[in-house]
Amino acid sequence: MKSLIERLRTRRLFSVFVLLATVSAVIVAGSFAAHGVRGQENQNDSSDATPLKVVNSPVAPNEFVKIAKLVGPAVVNINTQTFPKQSDNHGRRNFHGHVFQQPQDPNGGGDDQDQQQGQGQGQDNFQDFFNRFFGGQMPDQGGPDQGGGVQESLGSGFIVDPKGYIITNNHVVEKADKIYVKLSTDPDSQDLGRPARVIGTDKATDLAVIKIDANTPLPTVKLGNSDTTQVGDWVEAIGSPFALSQTVTAGIISAKNRTIEPGASGQFQHFIQTDAAINPGNSGGPLLNMNGEVIGVNTAIFTQSAGYQGIGFAMPSNTVVSVYNDLVSPSHKVTRGSIGIQFREGLSGAVNRVYGFKNGVLVQEVQPGGPADKAELKPGDIITAIDGRSIKDGDDLVNEIASRRPGSTARLGYIRDGKPQDTTVTIGDRDKVFAEMTGQQPPAAPDDQGDAGETTLGIVVREASPATQAKIHGSGMVIQSVRTGSFADLQGLAPGLVITRINKQSTATKAEYDGVVKKLKTGDDVVFEVIDPRHPEAGINYIGGTLQ
């Protein structure tokens, strides 16, 4: 038995030896083969090869180069921070968290309501893949509305006033708690940039104006005439796609007057379409003509992959100028006119023939007590002219009425029962007319917001309780909230602090506080005397700056 075991062991060892010997032979053979290849190196003579040299022949800069150098310094990078908060939004979201509201009446239209543009069978798919595009988190990563961490997003903008006024998109800043701006000349560091505050926003056109403080005049861009642009014109885009600042792309104008969202949300959005490459982070950046003038604000892309697919949309500069001038006005809001009617777009030719009109708007509904009702317009009337100018369609009517100031009058030409008539209508405020039509409260004007400091300083306050007064050994106004980007926010004021005096004047009561704040105006130096009731031993802290 022992002999049998020894023979098996010997055979196993012999098998292992044979295997190792085979592997060694392969390795040695490979070594000789490799040696043979290397041995041929001295036979590859390359002495006849000519070394390459860089040719230093100057290339004349084209127009794109000139525009990039001219405009680039005025294009900025915008970073925003949104802190976690509880949300009551239940709308359908796209991949950047933008809520799309379904129109109440997809076939209706009005000078202050929904309007159907009839984009064809692809409209639903187009809506599904239409994405706002600024760099941010996907929903499954947990945005601020889902209880996640701080959300940081990216956009672009451009300076239009050397004092620091910047145009960008509303959707870049609307949910932000903190806004920072970086110029191309600012140091490339971990610093997010210069703090900015919101001057005004307009959701209807998705535009916003923000401001940064500047010690010296800043570089600016010029606004061109978007109405004179043509399909096929060369354009250039500059922005910060995927955080890559000062990225330049070029293309042409592919189409004009594109309305890509149905209903009220797209009523004032008639875009320039371009194939210049724009991507997440370009939002709010300029679209430029070959004179280096801004003819559009890059706002949206059509995409099935969340990236560039050759179809981008920019808000025309002529619209931008009008909105900007309203937002920097004392009211900081865009006011649009309305006459309180609803109408139906895309009517068949049969309706036109039976009712006897080629161009015009068939009134579907008149708001009781509204401007049109007071002018004695009725459902079934066909509006054909405003102040003697023929009205082509619903878009034409909306644009004409919206451009009028509330309180002004217009002469409407219309057809009733086949007979031409006319009437004078007093234009109403679109927000108020729409609110009355839907039973909602109109947005409060800045002067009607109750708290004198909310508009001027950006804070809401209340009188200190007896317990707080005992802690600080005095009276004052407790800060309840601070609006992001406001004057108070930029000075470092925070909820919980107690303002005891402003510009050496007592603010012990709400009446005293309101009296002091109402006298403040742009350009005034404002100094707050504040106490932190959590650390009253630290005494009074003096915080101040110049009101912008």
From residue 309, give the alpha-carbon distance in Å to each of 201, 274, 302. Answer: 29, 11, 7
pLDDT of amino acid 339: 92
Give yes or no for residue 342 having a pLDDT over 80.
Answer: yes
The residue whose two tokens read 């403040």 is 520
Q: Express as a percent the part of the chain with pLDDT over 90.
A: 35
User: Residue 185: pLDDT band by 50, 70, 90 thresholds?
Assistant: confident
Rounded mean pLDDT of the chain?
Answer: 78
pLDDT of amino acid 455: 78
Give yes or no for residue 385 having a pLDDT over 90.
Answer: yes
More confident position, 221 or 81? 221
Structure tokens at 81: 């921070």
The mean pLDDT value for 3-25 works out to 48
pLDDT of amino acid 130: 43
User: Residue 343: pLDDT band by 50, 70, 90 thresholds?
Assistant: confident
pLDDT of amino acid 59: 81
Candidates 156, 240, 283, 338; catalytic one: 283
Residue range 446-500, pLDDT digits in tens:
434 445 678 788 888 989 888 888 889 899 999 988 887 788 888 889 888 999 9
User: Residue 295: pLDDT band by 50, 70, 90 thresholds?
Assistant: very high
User: Residue 73: pLDDT band by 50, 70, 90 thresholds?
Assistant: very high
One-letter amino acid at 198 equals V
pLDDT of amino acid 335: 87
pLDDT of amino acid 548: 72
Strands 286-288 and 234-239: antiparallel
pLDDT of amino acid 89: 40
More confident position, 518 or 132? 518
Catalytic annotation on 283?
A: yes
Give yes or no for residue 262 having a pLDDT over 50.
Answer: yes
Rounded CA separation 166/158 (Å)? 5
Catalytic annotation on 171?
A: yes
Q: Express as a percent the part of the chain with pLDDT over 70.
A: 74
Task: Name the phi and psi angles at 535, rounded to 5.
Answer: -140, 65
pLDDT of amino acid 437: 60
pLDDT of amino acid 353: 79
User: Residue 544: pLDDT band by 50, 70, 90 thresholds?
Assistant: confident
pLDDT of amino acid 487: 87
- Looking at residue 442, the DSSP 8-state letter turns out to be P
pLDDT of amino acid 96: 32
Structure tokens at 427: 């234009």
More confident position, 185 or 236? 236
Rounded CA separation 437/384 (Å)? 24
User: Residue 97: pLDDT band by 50, 70, 90 thresholds?
Assistant: very low
Give yes or no for residue 316 having a pLDDT over 90.
Answer: yes
SS3 assignment, position 176: coil
pLDDT of amino acid 109: 52
Decide: pTM greater than 0.75: no
pLDDT of amino acid 148: 54
258 neighbors 270 (Cβ within 8 angstroms):
yes
Structural domains of the chain, with CATH = 64-334 (2.40.10.120), 337-438 (2.30.42.10), 447-546 (2.30.42.10)
pLDDT of amino acid 77: 92
- Burial of 74 by CB count in 10 Å (0-12 exposed, 13-18 middle, 19+ buried)? buried
Candidates 206, 429, 451, 489; catalytic one: 206
Beta carbons within 8 Å of 126's beta carbon, 6+ residues apart: 119, 260, 302
Catalytic annotation on 206?
A: yes
Rounded CA separation 301/342 (Å)? 30
